[in-house]
Amino acid sequence: MGTVVDAPAVVTEEVAENTLGGKKVTVVFVLGGPGSGKGTQCANIVEYFGFTHLSAGDLLRAEIKSGSENGTMIENMIKEGKIVPSEVTIKLLQEAMIKNENDKFLIDGFPRNEENRAAFENVTKISPAFVLFFDCSEKEMERRLLGRNQGRVDDNIETIKKRFKTFVESSLPVIEYYNSKDKVKKIDAAKPIPEVFEDVKTIFAPYAPKAE
Ligand SMILES: Nc1ncnc2c1ncn2[C@@H]1O[C@H](COP(=O)(O)OP(=O)(O)OP(=O)(O)O)[C@@H](O)[C@H]1O
Ligand SMILES: Nc1ccn([C@@H]2O[C@H](COP(=O)(O)O)[C@@H](O)[C@H]2O)c(=O)n1
Ligand SMILES: [Mg+2]
């Protein structure tokens, strides 16, 4: 298993400003149950607000495809709806952020559990500007996942049930943690896609690109 990329040396003031490799960055965590619409809305936020979208799940799937030494382990965890050890996922996220010139990142599907949350904070010293939480019923999320048709190994009813259990047991407590810090912005994700994006737009208005 690889090691997490060394975080750049930082001083206290820089930590407060969320720096990464000398660059000041804004990070928004995008959380919600499987199929709540995180990826769909992130694509809209990228287009309208100029963020870079980093999906932890997509990075893990790319790692499998790359033939990495961790590939088999990651694939097994995804098929079982389990959460991959933080060091693997954080290394992928950190590398992606460092090599990208943007300074505004949507981190989708991370942190997925308390270990993810604490390890990211410890390694990167970055705290999110806020957490966007897509709230949706399991019935609706199951309907969407079974209709997604993207060939994902985890979009079958057996794995979907396991992913829901992991979400309730491991991911909801992370959302509660950030809620206790007043960092959660909750969206009703059961509405149609354009209506959800209207609510998202209101939240991201302060991040709109400045007119030249
Ligand atoms: N508001 C919505 N109403 C109806 N269908 C939606 C809505 N948002 C997304 N979908 C559809 O639901 C499916 C899942 O959406 P998406 O991939 O964005 O979810 P996700 O939260 O990223 O899921 P996962 O955690 O599994 O990656 C897609 O087929 C998408 O087109
Ligand atoms: N922080 C994370 C994020 C994802 N995973 C694994 O990937 C699966 C798919 O994630 P999506 O966000 O694309 O739905 C997820 O069920 C986990 O198995 C992870 O381990 N850690
Ligand atoms: Mg997704």
Find the 140 Cα to ligand 1 centroid distance in Å: 10
Residue 132, helix vs strand vs coil: strand
Q: Looking at the DSSP assignment, which residues form a beta bridge with residue 26?
A: 104
Distance CA 122, CA 90 (A): 11
Q: What is the pLDDT of residue 91?
A: 98
Report residue 4's pLDDT band, with 50, 70 and 90 as the boundaries: low
Q: How far apart are CA 61 and CA 177, in angstroms?
A: 28
Q: Rounded to the nearest 5°, which phi and psi values hold at 45?
A: -65, -40
Annotated binding-site ranges for a ribonucleoside 5'-phosphate: 61, 82-84, 109-112, 152, 163
pLDDT at 211: 77
Q: Is 200 left (phi over 0), alpha (psi -120 to 50) or beta?
A: alpha
Which among 34, 25, 37 is positioned nearest to 105, based on CA atoms? 25
Average pLDDT over residues 21-26: 90
Record the tokens describing residue 126, joined without a space.
């970055």
pLDDT of residue 121: 96
Q: Given ligand 1 and candidates 36, 38, 40, which is best to mutate, with the most ligand atoms within 8 Å of its CB?
A: 40
- The predicted pLDDT at position 1 comes to 43
Query: Is the per-residue pLDDT at 35 higher than 80?
Result: yes
Cβ(155)–Cβ(55) below 8 Å: no
Q: What average pLDDT does the structure give for the chain?
A: 93
Asked whether 130 and 206 are in contact (CB, 8 A), the reply is no
| Secondary structure of residue 192 in the 3-state scheme | coil
* Residue 7: burial class (beta carbons within 10 Å; 0-12, 13-18, 19+): middle
Give me the amino acid identity at 63.
Answer: E
Question: Each residue of 103-113: pLDDT tens digit?
Answer: 999 999 999 99
In 3-state terms, what secondary structure has residue 183?
coil
Nearest Cα neighbor of 42 from 193, 149, 205, 209 is 193
Mutate to test the pocket of ligand 2, among 78, 82, 171 (most ligand atoms within 8 A of CB): 78
pLDDT for residue 16 = 59
Region 54-62: mean pLDDT is 98
Q: Is the ipTM of this complex over 0.90?
A: yes
